[in-house]
Amino acid sequence: MVRPIKTAVFPVAGLGTRFLPATKAMPKEMLPVVDRPVIQIAVDEAREAGIEHFVFVTGRNKSVIEDHFDTAFELESVLKARGRQAEIDRLASGLPKPGQASFTRQREPLGLGHAVWCARQLVGDEPFALLLPDMVMHASPGCLRQMIDVYEARGGGNVLAVEEVPWDQVSRYGVVGAAEWQGNAFSVTGMVEKPRTQEEAPSNLIISGRYILQPDIFAEIEKQAPGAGGEIQITDAMIRLMARQPFHGLKYNGTTYDCGDKVGFLSANVAFALDRPDLAPGFRAALRRILGTDIP
């Protein structure tokens, strides 16, 4: 029996400099895709996958995320007085149950690896999921659910969700080498963080923001000196862990939108809006007016 994945870590302490001035006073994780903040989309994906403990690694200016996952007393009493029970129920369904959410602070944005390491006491000695909330996955079933299925089928270990990108974009991402494919799953043979040339990249499969990791990753992060950009990267720690534990890859069924990037964020809004039966007809008509043509 593999150990179940019950805890998810959400690093939300980054500065979001690519989205200034929007992110000057507001966390980028609260930017909405249609009407859900990106952090809510990641939490919903984790809940659907069976996660019971939601760990947020936050920083200064991020306390609104904690408020978002709490009861909004004044709002609810006004909605109640106006008889809008459906909205009250919808808000409640997006919340972790009492006691299921934990918050810790990174204090200094020293990189993703460091943010994950800050969650070590809250995670404990259990395998866990790591979700980068600004990578919004458009998938059904959700990306993490698909990954947990692979984790169970392949007997545990570590799992990375990957996505194919055009070769001229590989230098922006962490890239994996793949072998022994079984359906959409494979064994990870190597990883390179932001390869400088296409020749340095083992494939055009990029790590797309969802991980299942064994708790041994914390000790590997601890050994680490700052890498690319002076930040403590998670990829360097995973490369060391790969020497003693299996890493599986999953080319998951769905599309990733990098909502930390403006074009990715706008694209996610279009894709999610077109998926909403209540919005799609009006939105299509608006797009037709803007573009001067029908969209397929």
Minimum separation from the CB atom of position 110 to ligand UTP (A) = 5
Give min distance, CB of 255 to ligand UTP, in A: 18
Residue 249 to residue 190: CA distance in whole angstroms: 11
HEC readout, the chain:
CCCCCCEEEEECCCCCHHHCCCCCCCCHHHCEECCEEHHHHHHHHHHHCCCCEEEEEECCCCHHHHHHCCCCHHHHHHHHHCCCHHHHHHHHHCCCCCCCEEEEECCCCCCHHHHHHCCHHHHCCCCEEEECCCEEEECCCCHHHHHHHHHHHCCCCEEEEEEECCHHHHHHCEEEEEEEEECCEEEEEEEEECCCCCCCCCCCEEEEEEEEECCCHHHHHHCCCCCHHHCCCHHHHHHHHCCCCCEEEEECCCEEEECCCHHHHHHHHHHHHHCCCCCHHHHHHHHHHHHCCCCC
Structure tokens at 257: 């939108």
Residues that bind ligand UTP (CB under 6 A): 11-19, 57, 106, 109-112, 114-115, 132-134, 260
Residue closer to ligand UTP (CB basis): 14 or 157: 14
**Residue closest to ligand UTP when measured from CB atoms:** 14
Q: How far is the CB of 112 from ligand UTP (least distance, A)?
A: 5
- Identify the sign of the CA torsion 73, 75, 78, 81: negative
Q: Among residues 17 and 77, whose Cβ is nearest to ligand UTP?
A: 17
With respect to ligand UTP, which residue has the nearer C-beta, 102 or 187?
102
Q: Which residue's CB is nearer to ligand UTP, number 156 or number 227?
A: 227
Structure tokens at 264: 């990715």
* Surface-to-core class of residue 197, CB atoms within 10 Å of its CB (0-12 exposed, 13-18 middle, 19+ buried): exposed
Which one, 112 or 139, has the nearer CB to ligand UTP? 112
Task: State the Cα–Cα distance between residues 144 and 212, nearest whole angstrom.
Answer: 9
CB of 259 to ligand UTP, least distance (A): 9
